[in-house]
């Protein structure tokens, strides 16, 4: 018994060490572009000192904010995976209005969507659900962020939630680049990037986090996708009341 526990501990430490090593490799690549953007924009802002240069200053300030947000997302993804692997995520179930929570998260995306992109949201069924609100927000943020990232400008992102027969369902549908069949079986693996997403900023951790957070709340993640026709993610939770 003690020998098995020791083996499990060693294996867990080995996996965490591998995770950290992969993160360092990934970060050295992913951090380079946003950091270069911050540096160059900060330099150019200093050059645009005249009043008539305000538009140029605003453009570069927006680039800086966008790059810093990108770096924050990378760090948050890694910290989330680290906590999951270490078993430090505590599920705190509570009753809340899922319609209001979803709208709050969606409203927060207005300033980060690509030009012309819009989100359509609908809810069906009872609004009060018993879930971990914080984990649900993270799931929605990851899925919506991906939907925007992998979709063209002026495209529609369809989001819906429902609560029927003690089953809560969250759906996020985009009309973007889609996922190749060969990539779909690996989609929830840590650091995995689809062949057609290599040149798009990302850590390859977001969907892994979504799947693990859903699992912690007795949920499952399903998806349908076709290249150049978009992707639909559906997360379903058994929402049995206490």
The domain spanning residue 79 has which CATH number? 1.10.287.130
Whether 28 shows a pLDDT value over 90: the answer reads no
DSSP letters for 75-98? HHHHHHHHHHHTT-PPP--EEEEH
pLDDT band at 4 (very low <50, low <70, confident <90, very high): confident
**What's the mean pLDDT in 191-204?**
78
Q: What b/e readout covers 217-227, taking b as 16+ CB neighbours within 10 angstroms?
A: bebebebebee
Same domain, 102 and 197: yes
Least confident of 181-185, 188-192, 211-215, 225-229: 188-192
Domain boundary among 53, 85, 117: 85
Domain boundary among 61, 85, 109: 85
Whether 165 shows a pLDDT value over 70: the answer reads yes
Structural domain harbouring 12: 2-85
Same domain, 118 and 60: no
Whether 18 shows a pLDDT value over 90: the answer reads no
Same domain, 104 and 77: no
Same domain, 167 and 103: yes
Cβ neighbors of 109 (< 8 A, separation 6 or more) are: 119, 144, 145, 148
pLDDT value of position 15: 66
pLDDT value of position 207: 93
Domain boundary among 21, 54, 85: 85
Same domain, 199 and 144: yes
Q: Report the number of distinct structural domains present in the chain.
A: 2
Whether 27 shows a pLDDT value over 90: the answer reads no
Same domain, 167 and 149: yes
Same domain, 79 and 137: no
Same domain, 49 and 127: no
* 174: CATH: 3.30.565.10
pLDDT band at 12 (very low <50, low <70, confident <90, very high): low
Kindly state the tokens that stand for 163. 């609560």
pLDDT value of position 17: 66
Same domain, 98 and 42: no
pLDDT band at 118 (very low <50, low <70, confident <90, very high): very high
pLDDT band at 25 (very low <50, low <70, confident <90, very high): low
Same domain, 101 and 49: no
Same domain, 68 and 171: no
CA 196 to chain centre: 18
Same domain, 153 and 233: yes
């Amino acid at each position: 018994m003690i020998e098995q526990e020791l083996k499990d501990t060693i294996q867990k430490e080995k996996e965490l060490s591998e995770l950290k090593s992969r993160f360092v490799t990934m970060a050295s690549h992913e951090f380079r572009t946003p950091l270069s953007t911050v540096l160059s924009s900060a330099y150019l802002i200093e050059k645009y000192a005249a009043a008539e240069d305000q538009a140029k200053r605003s453009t570069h300030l927006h680039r800086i904010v966008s790059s810093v947000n990108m770096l924050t997302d990378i760090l948050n993804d890694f910290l989330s995976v680290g906590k999951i692997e270490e078993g430090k995520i505590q599920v705190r179930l509570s009753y809340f209005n899922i319609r209001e929570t979803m709208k709050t998260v969606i409203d927060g995306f207005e300033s980060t969507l690509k030009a012309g992109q819009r989100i359509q949201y609908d809810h069906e069924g009872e609004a009060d659900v018993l879930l971990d609100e914080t984990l649900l927000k993270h799931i929605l943020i990851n899925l919506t962020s991906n939907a925007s990232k992998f979709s063209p400008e002026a495209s529609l992102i369809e989001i819906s939630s429902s609560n029927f027969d003690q089953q809560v369902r969250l759906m996020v549908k985009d009309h973007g680049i889609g996922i190749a069949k060969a990539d779909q079986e690996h989609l929830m693996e840590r650091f995995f990037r689809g062949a057609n997403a290599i040149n798009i900023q990302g850590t390859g951790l977001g969907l892994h986090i979504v799947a693990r957070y859903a699992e912690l709340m007795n949920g499952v993640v399903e998806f349908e996708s076709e290249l150049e026709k978009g992707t639909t993610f559906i997360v379903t939770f058994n929402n049995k009341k206490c």
